[in-house]
Structure formats: structure tokens, C-alpha cells
Amino acid sequence: MAKKKQDKQLIVSLDIGTSKVAALVGEIDDQHAIRIVGIGTAPSRGLKRGVVVDIESTVKSIQQAVEEAELMAGCQVHSAITGIAGSHVRSLNSHGIVAIRDKEVVQSDVDRVIDAARAVAIPADQKVLHVLPQEYIIDNQGGIREPIGMSGVRLEAKVHLVTGAVSAAQNIVKCMGRCNLAVGEMVLEQLASSEALLSDDEKELGVCLVDIGAGTTDIAVFTQGSIQHTAVIPIAGDQVTNDIAIALRTPTQSAEKIKLEYACAMPEMADPKQSIEVPSVANRPGRRVSHKTLAEIIGPRYQELFTLIWSELRRSGFHELIPAGIVLTGGASRVQGLVDLAEIAFQMPVRVAAPEGIEGLDEVLNDPAYSTSIGLLLMGQKQLYNAPTSRVLSSANGVFTKMRDWFSGNF
Ligand SMILES: Nc1ncnc2c1ncn2[C@@H]1O[C@H](COP(=O)(O)OP(=O)(O)OP(=O)(O)O)[C@@H](O)[C@H]1O
Ligand SMILES: [Mg+2]
């Protein structure tokens, strides 16, 4: 990960997003609690919809973000936990069965049943990213979370499999390699955000996490304490900016600026007295539009996004299984009136969440754009100390090793 003067253990996360690359350095204290001691961010120009499309610019952004974080934390970064997203990511539920060798489940039985569950046919250009156990069944007794030590003759595992395009993952490894950084682990971005934001109660009851970034909206559904469904929708903040640029006939940069300052998703909540200066293109004189007009452009785009999320939930059958509602996060969830709009659209409780319960820089902790970065750090921390496992992590542990094998096999 990284080295520091007083030999404290450091963990580094690198979120290579469509709008920004963020590097966070976390310091682990004697009680294994994590504290953020360094942060670096750089605008990202080499990604489209969550996927690297320009290696040169991505490398520059990573370098800038990492150098900034190194300077602030006073350390040198050698490797980082990073995220992966994009519409190439697919997920499916699978199932494996094995005989228990000595009438009592041991680790090797669990490993074998997980291997059996991951043995499904996937396209040649895809690789398994995560195998996330949902439940174990021993001799028809379901709902078991920790099977080791239990008696029986037949062990079954239900798992959630996440696969991603080999080339997309390789490009991330390549970009980090060009910055002399090793990939510690590569984690599906919404899994990382879930780790930072969702409570165990919510996961038990049934909840849907929606991370609205710049290029993609990432979804993760949890019920009965385990992950059940993941999906990626290629519409997010960039499309909102695009709509503003087209509707107000203004350059994309001005549209982004206007959005960041005045974004509102409910025309009813717009400030009736506020008018916004809109620069025009090609030296034409600027104009002024009302705040309500802006909300009338932004609102329908988010509405459309919510319709797509709802169709995805219906398609997967989880729309009736999430009484804890929807948890919104990601930079593009910081819009006035979004919770109200979402509650009307989904007809269930909605909250916007930012990471909390971790010490360090407040600017990062209260910003939903950093949920993935913080989640990546938390996953690293738990993996390092094998702390009381959240289910996502415990299941991801084995996968991390497999991911490493996969990369070493490819490079
Ligand atoms: N106050 C705000 N109001 C509206 N939109 C905002 C606000 N702040 C940030 N955004 C939008 O959030 C998006 C960036 O969010 P985030 O940093 O989570 O994305 P990312 O991680 O870079 O992208 P992705 O996860 O899609 O690859 C941008 O589209 C930006 O315009
Ligand atoms: Mg993101």
C-alpha cells in the first residue's frame, strides 16, 4: 500500500471515476480504526461512462491525484485498492452443491462449494470479478451464513456472481502500472459504496443503493443481509449537464457550472426570485433564465433515470423486497429536491447518504462523491485485519486472491 515514517500501516484507495480521480490515504491506528490522512483529486478526462477510453489522460489524472495525496500524507504510494464500473459489468445468481467430506464443514468444503457455484458459462471476453455468497444450505436447512463447524452431508451455496470485461480491467491495471502503482484489489464500485453507507439493519430488511456518478449510475440490492442484485445504468450527471447545455444553448462547461451552483430537481421548489446568467455560444450575448426553468430541465432527466432504475428493479423482481427503501449517493445525488422527487417516483423512503463514522477530513466525509473511495478504504481495512466481516467483504476476500491470479495470468 504505502510507507510512512512512523511505520504506521497505511491503506490507499484510488477511485478512477468519469469526472474525477480521487486518491485517499488512510492510516490505521492501534485499535485498527481508520483515519484519513491524505487526499488528492484530479479532474478525469480519459473515461467515458465509467470505462477508460484514453490511457494517456487517465495516467496523468492518476499521477496528479496520487502525488497530491502523497504530499499531504507524507508517504509514498506503491499500490492501491481500486474500483471498476461500466456497462460491461454483468451479474447473475448461481448455485453450487458438494458432499461434505468428514460430516462436518471445514474451509476446504466451503472453497469447493464456492468453486462449484462459480463454474458457469460466461462469454470469453468476460471474467468473474466477485463471487459473493448469499447463503449456505446444509441438508436442506437454508439461511446459514457461517457453515464452518456445522454437521451434515450435503453443502449448497447460493452466490451472486459479478463479471466484467477483461479489457476494461486490463486498461485500469495498465494505467496504474504506468504510474508505478500495483493494483491491490479491484472492487465493483457499488460494492465499495455499500460498504461505506449501508447499515446492517438496512441490508437485513432489504435496501437498494443507487450511486449516481458522472458517467454511470450503479445499483446494488441487498436483502436478508446479503447482496442479491447489481446493475449499471449508463445515464448519470453527465447527461444532466448535456441536457442543460442543449436546452439553454450554452457551452458544456457553463452548463456544468450552472448545474453545480443551482441544480434543483423540483420546479415547485425553485426560488421564484432567482434568475441565472447563462453564457451563450460563439460570442452571442448572454441571457438570463429563471431558476424554475432550470429545474424544469433537470427534473425530467432525473425522473427518467428513476424510471430506468425502477424498470431494472422490476425486471430483477426486487422492487417489492426493499422496505428500507433507496439510498442515493454519488456526486450527482447532491441536487436540491432530489429526495422528494425520488420518493414520489419510487413510492418508498429515500435518503441521500455520505460516508460517516470514519475520522479525518470533513470535506471528504460529508460528500457523497467520495462514497466509493471511502468504501474501498474500508474494504481494504477489513481485509487487512480480518475484522468482524460484513458479508460483502467476507465473501470478497477469497475473490481478491482469485483476482490477483487472474491479473498475474494476463500480464
Ligand atoms: N451539487 C451538485 N449538483 C448536481 N450535480 C452535482 C453536484 N455536485 C456534483 N455533481 C455531479 O456529480 C457528478 C460527479 O459525481 P462523482 O464524483 O460521484 O462521479 P464519478 O465517480 O467521477 O463518476 P462515475 O462514478 O460515474 O465514473 C458530475 O456529473 C457532477 O456534475
Ligand atoms: Mg464514482
Within 6 A (CB) of ligand 1 lie 17-20, 50, 85, 213-216, 236-238, 241, 256, 259-260, 263, 330-332, 334-335, 369
Residue 286 lies in a domain: no
Q: Please calculate the CA angle 49-52-55 and round it to the nearest 5 degrees.
A: 150
Domain boundary among 133, 166, 199: 166
The residues pairing with 233 across neighbouring beta strands, listed in sequence order, are 217
Percent of the chain at pLDDT > 90 equals: 83
Mean pLDDT, rounded, for 311-334: 97
Do 94 and 74 have their domain in common? no
Mean pLDDT, rounded, for 193-219: 96
Probe target for ligand 1 pocket from 15, 16, 19, with the most ligand atoms within 8 Å of CB: 19
**Per residue in 277-317, pLDDT tens?**
999 888 888 899 999 999 999 999 999 999 999 999 999 99
Q: Measured between alpha carbons, how far is 150 from 75 in angstroms, rounded to an integer?
A: 46
Do 8 and 75 have their domain in common? yes
What CATH number is attached to the domain comprising 162?
Answer: 3.30.1490.110
Do 66 and 106 have their domain in common? no
Residue 59 lies in a domain: yes
| Number of domains the chain contains | 2
Do 72 and 122 have their domain in common? no
Q: Which atom of ligand 1 is nearest to the CA of 19?
A: 22
What CATH number is attached to the domain comprising 15?
Answer: 3.30.420.40
Domain boundary among 151, 166, 181: 166
Burial class (CB in 10 A: 0-12, 13-18, 19+), 332: buried
| CA 50 to centroid of ligand 2, rounded, Å | 8
The larger pLDDT score, comparing residue 87 to residue 358, is at: 87
Residue 364 lies in a domain: yes
User: Which residue's alpha carbon is at the smallest distance from atom 13 of ligand 1?
Assistant: 214
Do 47 and 121 have their domain in common? no
In the predicted structure, residue 6 carries a pLDDT above the cut 90: no
Do 184 and 53 have their domain in common? yes
Q: Which atom of ligand 1 is nearest to the CA of 44?
A: 22
Cell of 344: 414520489
Per-residue pLDDT band at 32 (split at 50, 70, 90): confident
Do the Cβ atoms of 232 and 217 come closer than 8 Å?
Answer: yes
**Per residue in 97-132, pLDDT tens?**
999 999 999 999 999 999 999 999 999 999 999 999
Q: Which pTM does this prediction carry?
A: 0.90
Mean pLDDT, rounded, for 62-73: 96
**Per residue in 352-410, pLDDT tens?**
999 877 777 776 778 999 999 999 999 998 888 764 333 333 333 344 444 444 444 33
Do 42 and 183 have their domain in common? yes
**SS3 assignment, position 47:** strand
Residue 219 lies in a domain: no
pLDDT at 405: 43
pLDDT at 340: 97
Per-residue pLDDT band at 1 (split at 50, 70, 90): low
Do 72 and 182 have their domain in common? yes
Least confident range from 52-66, 201-215, 360-374: namely 360-374
Do 13 and 150 have their domain in common? no
Per-residue pLDDT band at 75 (split at 50, 70, 90): very high
pLDDT at 408: 42
Mean pLDDT, rounded, for 51-75: 96
Residue 262 lies in a domain: no
Residue 294 lies in a domain: no
Residue 62 lies in a domain: yes
Residue 162 lies in a domain: yes
**Residue 110 belongs to what domain range?**
90-166
| CA 15 to centroid of ligand 2, rounded, Å | 7
pLDDT at 3: 55
Mean pLDDT, rounded, for 311-324: 96
Probe target for ligand 1 pocket from 15, 18, 291, with the most ligand atoms within 8 Å of CB: 18
pLDDT at 286: 86
Do 40 and 106 have their domain in common? no
Mean pLDDT, rounded, for 177-194: 95
pLDDT at 116: 96
* DSSP-derived pairing of the beta strands 51-52 and 350-352: unpaired
* The CA-based dihedral angle spanning residues 143, 145, 147, 154, taken in that order and rounded to the nearest 10 degrees: 30
Report DSSP letters for 159-182, one per residue: EEEEEEEHHHHHHHHHHHHHTT-E
pLDDT at 172: 96
Do 28 and 39 have their domain in common? yes
pLDDT at 30: 84
Do 17 and 136 have their domain in common? no
In the predicted structure, residue 70 carries a pLDDT above the cut 50: yes
**Per residue in 227-264, pLDDT tens?**
999 999 999 999 999 999 999 999 999 999 999 999 99
Average pLDDT, the chain: 90
